[in-house]
Amino acid sequence: MTEQTTGRRVVINMSLSLDGHYAAPDQPQDMGWVMPYAHTDVARNHLTSLWESATSVLLGRVNAEGFLGFWPTVIGTEGVDPRDEAFAKWLVGTDKVVLSSTLGEAPWERTTIVSKPAAEVVADLRATEGGDILVLSSASVIKALLAADEVDRLGLTIFPVFLGGGPRLFDDGLPAGRWSLVSQAAGEHGVLSLLYDRVR
């Protein structure tokens, strides 16, 4: 187990369907099923609670392209929810690490491209000063960190929809361990947010 000398936590955030999937079986890149629920107070407050203590973002290439292609456009848009704009400004201004073996250089500011295993990248980040290391919805990165038992805080939003199949976040064979419920909230459209801390 990695020693946490600086106290930097690895915090993950993922949206799941009620039947336990993070993407639909036929179109894994289509997140349209998330949109009716992502705009609820519960989902927005949940995300805010995660990024406010984070000073680094860890993303896979696909999610980096999606997040960094969309969120900067939110800034200054008339009628945008203040929580969305605050997140967008934070995302643009914070240090980002993108895991990719195919991306040569970063087209985004304050971004470093790294081609090595997620657990090694986290070990490097833990060795530096800073706040939480937030992993935003990048399933391949999150799965690797769960398998290496490198996740300290688990943030989940559960949306009341069955996808009927597709990839799951929690694969068989993950290290056994206990988690403590830190917070829970339910709200509009039956959205549920859950926050768990790893008990070590």
DSSP string, the chain: ----SS-PPEEEEEEEETTSBSS-SS-TT--TTTHHHHTSHHHHHHHHHHHTTEEEEEEEHHHHHHHHHHGGGGTT-TT--HHHHHHHHHHHHSEEEEE-SS--S-SSTTEEEE-S-HHHHHHHHHTS--SEEEEES-HHHHHHHHHTT--SEEEEEEES----S--BSS-TTPPP-EEEEEEEEE-GGG-EEEEEEEE-
Residues of the chain with pLDDT under 70: 1-6
Q: Is residue 4 part of a domain?
A: no
User: 52-88 b/e with 16+ CB inside 10 Å = b?
Assistant: eebbbbbbbbbbbbbbbeebeebeeeeeeeeebebbb
Residue-level pLDDT at 123: 96
Cβ contacts of residue 66 below 8 Å, gap of 6+? none
Tell me if 156 sits within 8 A of 49, measured CB to CB: no
Residue-level pLDDT at 26: 86
Task: Report how many domains make up the chain.
Answer: 1
Residue-level pLDDT at 144: 97
Torsion of CA 20, 23, 26, 31, to 10 degrees: 140
Q: Is residue 3 part of a domain?
A: no
Q: Is residue 5 part of a domain?
A: no
178: domain CATH number is: 3.40.430.10
Q: Is residue 189 part of a domain?
A: yes
Query: How big is the chain by its Cα radius of gyration, in Å?
Result: 16
pTM recorded for the entire structure: 0.92
Residue-level pLDDT at 30: 82
Residue-level pLDDT at 19: 96
Q: Is residue 39 part of a domain?
A: yes
pLDDT digits (tens, 9 = 90+) for 42-88: 999 999 999 999 999 999 998 898 888 899 999 999 999 999 999 99
Supply the range of the domain harboring residue 104: 10-199
Pairing, β 95-99 against β 111-114: parallel
Sign, Cα dihedral of 126, 124, 48, 163: negative
Q: Is residue 174 part of a domain?
A: yes
Q: Is residue 115 part of a domain?
A: yes
Q: Is residue 1 part of a domain?
A: no
